[in-house]
Amino acid sequence: MISLTIPRVALRAAAPSRQFAAAANGSVRGVKTLTEAVGEVIPKKREELAQLKSSSADKSLGEVKVSNLLGGMRGLKIMLWEGSVLDANTGITFHGKTIPDCEKELPNAKDLGLGGKEMLPESMLWLLLTGNVPSNEEVKQLSAELAAKGKLPSFVEKIIDSFPKTLHPMTQFAAAVGALNHDSAFAAAYTKGIKKTEYWQPTLEDSIDLVAKLPAIAARIYYNVFGKGDGQQKIDTSKDLIGNYAEMIGYGGNEGLTDYLRLYIAIHGDHEGGNVSAHTAHLVGSALSDPYLSYSAALLGLAGPLHGLANQEVLGWALGMQDKVGPNASHEQIKEYLWDTLKSGRVVPGYGHAVLRRPDPRFTALSRFCDDRPELQQSSIVQLVKKVSEVAPGVLKEHGKTANPFPNVDAASGCVLHEYGLSEFRYYTVIFGISRAIGALPQLVMDRALGLPIERPKSMSIAALNKHLGNN
């Protein structure tokens, strides 16, 4: 029989304290807040973990080979991650739900009468944090809570304003997010000596606050670097997170772009735990750094060209092709351009993946969006994305290096933004950065709720490896 080792007091402590629950803004009578919903699921998660520890702690999850150590830890199962699982062939599922399931089940812009019809990132955040689909009322209330918490302290605005326009927007983003730690509820509670079983509460409070403020930070950066939007924090509590964001960057009247941003931000949120940004948030958070510090570090990882920066790279690459061969590239011309890229020793951006071995379902979702919108069907850049996706897999297979020759999400994401007029591609990864918080922060809350320890894997030198293996 399995014995539960979690003390009762720890299970009880999962219910949010009265003071904390009351802190959730704008709660409507009878409609659950996200904080209450998270408090309800934590006791079960703690029980599941306790059972796993007591029944299976010594079981093996596979062997560690030298190739794993030398190959970026590919394939090693070394991290707990609750929100999503990535299957090499079928792609991402969020608490077991595929992207099409989420498109069907999660409250969307139409359900909330917002204009547009795509799922809301707020709905995805709720699903990732609780494992449950929220009601329309719950999402509406969450949107209002995020709007109420969305304004930046003036010192953060000033920090952003002081950056040179030439500083990459992602560096500005990470710095501004890190600075928000000035007001971290977790850091303050830790200093006062909060109990370990209660860590998750101020972690969640900070996480909701951070998700709420990311659009205003991103909009301020857009204004400062590109002079678009008016730099004002126009946050309306009757709008959703992305409705407010679109308004702040000067695209409030553009329903197509606003709806695209909802879909983009919902589906880029989580891609299990091993990717650089998610893993970084988890690793830094394991030192009990607060959510602002942890997510700031994650953004710096997202800024790398092999990860989040790829969406900016794809657009530059596709526009380069258009410049070279004109707007209506033939399959033959695309093939030639692909080979030129590969022969010059560069990667084809938007193709390949460390885990996926089939086309990325996120690419499929963005392609579906393009097919649904008449204004995108005629776009030469959107048509080019489609044609490249027909030609590139064959070329990459023939090239013979890439384990996955199919498009990933970035193959389409930036080109659609460009078509809608958001053409500053140095900014694109910032939008990805608004999104990734929706996946990385829920796990940080769960890390604290489950009391996971500081991460500390073992490293080895070449000499130590040779000695261990008996090589001379």
Least distance to ligand FAM, CB of residue 89, Å:
15
Compare residues 30 and 400 and give the one whose CB is closer to ligand FAM: 400
Q: How far apart are CA 436 and CA 457, in angstroms?
A: 24
354 binds ligand FAM (CB under 6 A): yes
Q: How far apart are CA 200 and CA 39, in angstroms?
A: 9
Compare residues 224 and 275 and give the one whose CB is closer to ligand FAM: 275
24 binds ligand FAM (CB under 6 A): no
Output b/e per residue, 204-239; b: 16+ Cβ within 10 A.
bbbbbbbbbbbbbbbbbbbbbbbebbebebebeeeb
Contact stretch for ligand FAM (CB under 6 A) within 11-19, 89-97, 110-118, 341-349: 341-349
Phi first, then psi: give them for residue 392, nearest 5 degrees. Answer: -60, -40
In the block, which residue shows the tokens 């004109």? 326
Contact stretch for ligand FAM (CB under 6 A) within 113-121, 124-132, 283-291, 302-310: 302-310
Q: How far apart are CA 311 and CA 411, in angstroms?
A: 7
Contact stretch for ligand FAM (CB under 6 A) within 10-18, 82-90, 238-246, 347-355: 347-355
Site string for ligand FAM, 396-435 (x = CB under 6 A): -----xxxx---xxx-------------------------
Least distance to ligand FAM, CB of residue 466, Å:
23
Q: How far apart are CA 368 and CA 117, in angstroms?
A: 13
| Cα distances (Å, whole numbers) of residue 312 to 78, 166, 412 | 31, 16, 11
Active-site residues: which are they? 307, 353, 410
Least distance to ligand FAM, CB of residue 396, Å:
6
Compare residues 186 and 363 and give the one whose CB is closer to ligand FAM: 363
| Nearest-CB residue for ligand FAM | 352
Compare residues 184 and 275 and give the one whose CB is closer to ligand FAM: 275
Q: Which of 349, 359, 414, 442 binds ligand FAM (CB under 6 A)?
A: 349
Tokens linked to 14: 């999962």
Task: Give the chain's count of helices (H) and strands (E).
Answer: 23, 2
Contact 221, 172 (CB under 8 A): yes
Q: How far apart are CA 227 and CA 164, in angstroms?
A: 13
Contact 248, 180 (CB under 8 A): no
Q: Which of 308, 433, 439, 442 binds ligand FAM (CB under 6 A)?
A: 308
347 binds ligand FAM (CB under 6 A): yes
Contact 361, 98 (CB under 8 A): yes
307 binds ligand FAM (CB under 6 A): yes
Q: Which of 83, 252, 269, 350 binds ligand FAM (CB under 6 A)?
A: 350
**CA of residue 191 relative to chain centroid, distance:** 29
Least distance to ligand FAM, CB of residue 99, Å:
14
Q: How far apart are CA 181 and CA 115, in angstroms?
A: 35
Least distance to ligand FAM, CB of residue 399, Å:
7
Number of shown-chain residues binding ligand FAM (CB under 6 A): 21
Contact 334, 387 (CB under 8 A): yes
Q: Which of 52, 64, 287, 306 binds ligand FAM (CB under 6 A)?
A: 306
273 binds ligand FAM (CB under 6 A): no
Enumerate binding residues for ligand FAM (CB under 6 A).
275, 306-308, 310, 342, 347-354, 401-404, 408-410
